[in-house]
Amino acid sequence: MNKRPTLADVAARAGMSKTAVSLVLNNRPGSRLSDDAVARIHEAARELDYRPNAQARSLRLGTTGTVGFISDDVTVTRFASPMIRGLLDAADEQDRGVLIAETFKHPKQLRKAMEAMVDRQVDGLIFGALSARLVDLPPLPAGMRAVTVNCVNPEVPVAVLPDEEQAGYAVTRQLLDAGHAAGLAVIGNAPVARSDPRVSVTINRRFKGIQRALDESGVTPVAVEDIEFWEPWNGYDATKRVLESDAPVTALLCLNDRVSFGAQQAMTERGLRVPDDVSIASFDDDEIASYMRPALTTARLPYEQMGRQALELLLRPEESPGEHLVEMPLQVRGSIRPLA
């Protein structure tokens, strides 16, 4: 039952002082130790399989090499997974640990999670949210670095968000370029959500991008259906309404993939096929998008990139305040048929 070797053990074995060992192992420039001494120290450390005690080091340094990730619900939803992946990946590259907490229940929980992390002396905090919205946060301790990802907060200087305007433009462009200018229906206008930043700060940008593409080509949709929540059954209902209205629809621009999924079911029920009868494109690249047949053309929410970028921005010494937009790449699959 022998404990972990300490710096002192290494020093003793190498016949040097703790100072010397510390200097060598952290190879501090300017410490002029003989080559012989350096070699002996390295050898002793290797033999003992010495690993520094992180607590002791943090205590001395006031820094832990650990960052905290706090999310409302993200951690905990399928949406989150790629975000965490990106974050962990980047953290690993920079030899940082990641402490994680979720706070989906209550502001009190958020405060508690933050305190727990601050007590553990994290070097920075990343706040993530499920939907890209304005979030409330308790005041940050002075000097605490922070970045928000997929959300914004006035106290936090740097935010990582998906570039929804670009995506709105790209998806619409894709449909128009395929010749669907005359028969385009938009499934999922969301008047309520669009007016409340606490629901989403980016949703309007998605629409703005869509509008820009439409204006550019002088196109007016043949139908625009409101949906309050972008869920499959609502997409199903809305699509049904459009199909029953006898509007000359050749393509559905759905506001997300779950809506597309519902839309496709509605079409299948009426004997319409994708993309032969009606094309579909949408947003998010939800898992479901690749299960559908044909697979869905969609603009991907780049969660992994966002997670990665959040961590890198947090650790980057030079502040780069402001919004960092991450491109939403278009996944071109089989759901759009080019019209002759």
Partner DNA sequence: GTCTCGTGCTGAAAGGTTTTAGCACTGGCG
Partner DNA sequence: CGCCAGTGCTAAAACCTTTCAGCACGAGAC
Q: Which residues bind its own copies (CB under 8 A)?
A: 1, 51-56, 58-59, 64, 66, 75-78, 80-82, 84-85, 88-89, 92, 95, 97-102, 109, 112-113, 115-121, 142-143, 232, 236, 258, 261, 265, 268, 287-288, 291, 293
Q: How far is the CB of 21 from DNA (least distance, A)?
A: 7
Based on CB atoms, which residue is closest to its own copies, 92 or 215?
92
Q: Which CB atom, from 89 or from 277, has the smaller least distance to its own copies?
A: 89
- What is the nearest approach in angstroms of DNA to the Cβ of residue 47? 15
Using the minimum distance from each CB to DNA, give the nearer residue, 121 or 290.
121
Q: Which residue is it, tokens 């009426």?
A: 270
Which does residue 288 touch among DNA, its own copies, none (CB within 5 to 8 A, set by kind)?
its own copies
Distance CA 267, CA 245 (A): 13
Specify the residue, 119 or 276, whose C-beta has the smaller distance to its own copies. Answer: 119
Question: Minimum distance between the CB of residue 13 and DNA, rounded to whole angstroms?
Answer: 12
Helices 203-217 and 164-177: crossing angle in degrees, nearest 10, is 30
Which does residue 339 touch among DNA, its own copies, none (CB within 5 to 8 A, set by kind)?
none
By a kind-dependent CB cut-off of 5 to 8 A, residue 20 interacts, out of its own copies, DNA, none, with DNA
Least separation in angstroms between residue 97's CB and DNA is 16
Is the bond preceding 275 in cis, omega lying within 30 degrees of 0?
yes
* 127 contact, one of DNA, its own copies, none, CB 5-8 Å limit per kind: none
Our CB check for DNA shows the closer of 36 and 246 to be: 36
CB atoms within 10 A of CB 292: 20
Residue 130 · residue 306 · CB < 8 Å:
no
Comparing CB distances to its own copies, the nearer of 231 and 327 is: 231
Is the Cβ of residue 56 or residue 192 nearer to DNA in the bound state? 56
| Residue 37 binding result from DNA, its own copies, none, given CB thresholds of 5 to 8 Å by partner type | DNA
Whole-number Å distance between alpha carbons of 13 and 49: 12
**Type of residue numbered 124:** G
Cβ 113 to DNA, closest distance in Å?
A: 20
**CB count, 10 Å around CB of 62?**
8
Q: Is 240 left (phi over 0), alpha (psi -120 to 50) or beta?
A: alpha
Sign of CA dihedral 22, 98, 152, 281: positive
Q: Which among its own copies, DNA, none contacts residue 31 (Cβ within 5 to 8 A by kind)?
A: DNA
Which residues are near DNA by CB under 7 A? 3-4, 6-8, 15-20, 22-23, 25-26, 28, 31-34, 36-37, 50, 52-53, 56-57, 59-62
Q: Tell the smallest beta-carbon distance from residue 85 to its own copies (Å).
A: 4
Taking the least distance from each CB to DNA, the nearer of 50 and 303 is 50
